[in-house]
């Protein structure tokens, strides 16, 4: 499981890429507005992992939406965490769920969802979606903005 630490330890520092998600650390910082329900979105349009069978790279456009409770994830640590998957051999479903469950564990958000829009392998795009439950009432929840596969562009 990915480690979590409080504070922005990586921000403003020279940082190397973790060798794997197990070596990555997600930095969390206090939410300045924990009584409000607002959406935070991260989009990683160039996410990469490896096929566990062939070792060839797999690519995805990942969209992470969450409603913070007490904690926010610091963006540089998230960027390094996501980049650490580049050397991980895992199926699309496993990568998607690893990210979702690591963030759920680190943040204990009011709500979280992930949309992983994988580019075709063997001619078939595999998209993986997960969320913690119903979003908070009254939350503005925009579309994730990733078109159905038609070259995704």
The yes-or-no answer on residue 65 being catalytic is no
* Residue found under tokens 């439950």: 133
Q: What mean pLDDT is reported for the chain?
A: 92
| pLDDT bucket at 14, cuts 50 / 70 / 90 | confident
pLDDT of residue 142: 96
The active-site residue out of 22, 27, 58, 127 is 58
| pLDDT bucket at 10, cuts 50 / 70 / 90 | low
The yes-or-no answer on residue 51 being catalytic is yes
CATH number attached to the domain at 39-137? 3.30.1130.10
47-76 residue pLDDT tens: 999 999 999 999 999 999 999 999 999 999
The pTM score is 0.92
* Residues 6+ positions from 68 with CB-CB distance below 8 Å: 31, 34, 38, 40, 107, 109, 110
């Amino acid at each position: 499981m990915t480690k979590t630490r409080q504070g922005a330890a990586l921000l403003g520092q020279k940082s190397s890429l973790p060798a794997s998600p197990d070596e990555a650390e997600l930095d969390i910082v206090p939410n300045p507005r924990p009584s409000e329900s607002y959406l935070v979105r991260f989009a990683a349009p160039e996410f990469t992992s490896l096929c566990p069978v062939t070792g060839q790279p797999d690519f995805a456009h990942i969209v992470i939406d969450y409603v913070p409770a007490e904690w926010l994830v610091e963006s540089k640590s998230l960027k390094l965490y996501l980049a650490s998957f580049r050397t991980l051999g895992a199926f699309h479903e496993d990568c998607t769920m690893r990210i979702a469950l690591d963030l759920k564990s680190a943040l204990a958000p009011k709500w979280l969802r992930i949309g992983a829009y994988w580019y075709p392998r063997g001619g078939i795009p595999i998209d993986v979606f997960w969320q913690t439950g119903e979003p908070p009432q009254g939350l503005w929840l925009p579309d994730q903005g990733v078109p159905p596969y038609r070259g995704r562009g």
